[in-house]
Amino acid sequence: MSNVTPFPRPGAAAPTQTAFDRGELSRIMDLYGRMVSAGHWRDYAIDLTRDVAIFSAFRRSAERPEVRIEKRPLLRHRQGMWALIGETGAVLRRGQELAGVLAPVERRLLKLIDGRE
């Protein structure tokens, strides 16, 4: 019965969770939907922690994710807060804007639809 809840101090409030905003998630889910309709991706997962928000796309749910889209706000002034990470864990693209980071997947989608892959 004696729970003490501290008052938040102005300026000292650290985010308890990093998340995608509506526009970012809309852009990511649009790409996911197009990859599903092309028959390439079948499942996804979203992991939201204090430092990073991760969207993982899977060919099959039993495998490792084919790509991970990571948002790390603490890196926004350094390497860029967005990263595209491949299946092996290699960073494929890093940048300040989500559109630039998603460009390699968008190009791959065009090849999948065109049938040249």
Residue 27: per-residue pLDDT: 93
Query: Tens digit of pLDDT per residue, the chain (117 long)?
Result: 578 777 666 665 666 788 888 999 999 999 999 889 988 889 999 999 999 999 999 987 677 888 999 998 888 888 888 999 988 888 999 999 998 999 888 888 776 566 555
| The residue count for the chain | 117
Q: What is the pTM of this model?
A: 0.78
Question: Is residue 103 classed exposed, middle or buried when 0-12, 13-18 and 19+ CB atoms within 10 A define those classes?
Answer: middle
Residue 38: per-residue pLDDT: 86
Cα separation, 45 vs 58, whole angstroms: 8
Residue 68: per-residue pLDDT: 93
Per-domain residue ranges for the chain?
22-114
Q: What's the number of CA atoms in the CB half-sphere (13 Å) around residue 30?
A: 10
79: alpha, beta or left? (left if phi > 0; alpha if psi -120 to 50): alpha
Residue 39: per-residue pLDDT: 85
